[in-house]
Amino acid sequence: MGVFRTRVTELLGIEHPVICGGMTGVGTVELCAAVSEAGGLGMLTALRSETPENLRRDIERVRKLTSKPFGVNLTILPAMVPPDYEGFADAIIESGVKIVETAGNNPKKWVGKFKAAGLICIHKCVTIRHALSAERIGVDIISMDSFECAGHPGEEDIGAIVLLAKAAKKLRAPFVASGGIGDGKQLAAAIALGAEGVNMGTRFCATKECNWPESFKQRMVDAQETDTVLMFRALHNTARVFKNRVASEVDEIQKAKGMDLDFSDIAHLVAGTRGREAERNGDADGGIWTAGQVIGLIDDLPTVKELMDNFIGEAESTIRNRMPNVLASSRL
């Protein structure tokens, strides 16, 4: 297997230019360590640990499973009773974590804090203007999240092929492609468009090490790329989720209410507690769960190591065998 050497692999000290997405529900110790052991950058999700004290313990648990680089995701979202973000940030720094990924609201305060402590900062952006802002405040690597992604794709609806090409024109900092990534051909394409790696979330959920129930994973294998739904558009907080029974009910209410939709109309369906209960019960139709359009590319449930080896192997063969053959020699 060949070796991809980019600014991202050099900066992060990883073998493959692959970062695991910071996913609140599945950003576990086990998945984080498995991705790092496979040569990518595993990502532990701070909010999944629930408290700063638990996060410190989880960081130490990751270190017992891998000696390779890993990061911690801190997603900053508006809430009536916000989590202890200061405590989480302090836990990340004081635990000696070297790499942090921020997402959500304006990261300026947090990036300043992390950079002052010597951490490498990755930040998720869904538009070029947000990426330029992140670059100005000192973010080291930009994760360009396109419309295909799971979770929150923003309100601009920019697909990857335009977003990445524009990022290559405008950004000085290295960036990775995020959203809809699931096979090695896409890594080759992302690099051709100017990215220096990829960020994968949904695809890592369909692996043996992911803590999701087998019923959820099998639904991804059976799904098509059309089997996601956009929620909360009228509330200007768009989120992409798997199209199950509950999501379809939410979609019907959204269509009926239009721009008059109020969160109270759907709160009982999208409640996090309902989603967690569905996970515990293995009920893939019992609550909302996020998934990107990449589900249309998922057709197996490998280990993380198997996925990574196949992913990198396919990217290499695409670059070595496919790309040279489409460039015709000039004839003078």
pTM to 2 decimal places: 0.94
pLDDT digit string (tens) for 280-309? 999 999 999 999 999 999 999 999 999 999
Longest Cα–Cα distance in the chain: 70
Q: Which residue has the higher pLDDT, 2 or 116?
A: 116
pLDDT over 80 at 165, yes or no: yes
The 10 Å Cβ neighbour count of residue 247 is: 24
Contact 173, 140 (CB under 8 A): yes
Assigned token pair, 39? 């040569």
CATH architecture entry for 7-211+302-326? Alpha-Beta Barrel (3.20)
CA distance 196 to 205: 23
CA distance 59 to 152: 26
Helix H or strand E encompassing 192: helix 184-192
N-terminal to C-terminal alpha carbon distance within the chain? 37
**Which of 76-85, 206-215, 268-277 bottoms out in mean pLDDT, i.e. has the lowest?**
76-85
The 10 Å Cβ neighbour count of residue 202 is: 29
The 10 Å Cβ neighbour count of residue 9 is: 21
Residue 315's pLDDT band (cuts 50, 70, 90): very high
Please name which of 15, 8, 68 lies closest in space to residue 43, comparing C-alpha atoms: 68
Residue 99's pLDDT band (cuts 50, 70, 90): very high
Helix H or strand E encompassing 87: helix 85-94
Q: Where are the domains of the chain?
A: 7-211+302-326, 223-281
pLDDT digit string (tens) for 13-66? 999 999 999 998 899 999 999 999 999 999 999 999 999 999 999 999 999 999
The amino acid sitting at 228 is T
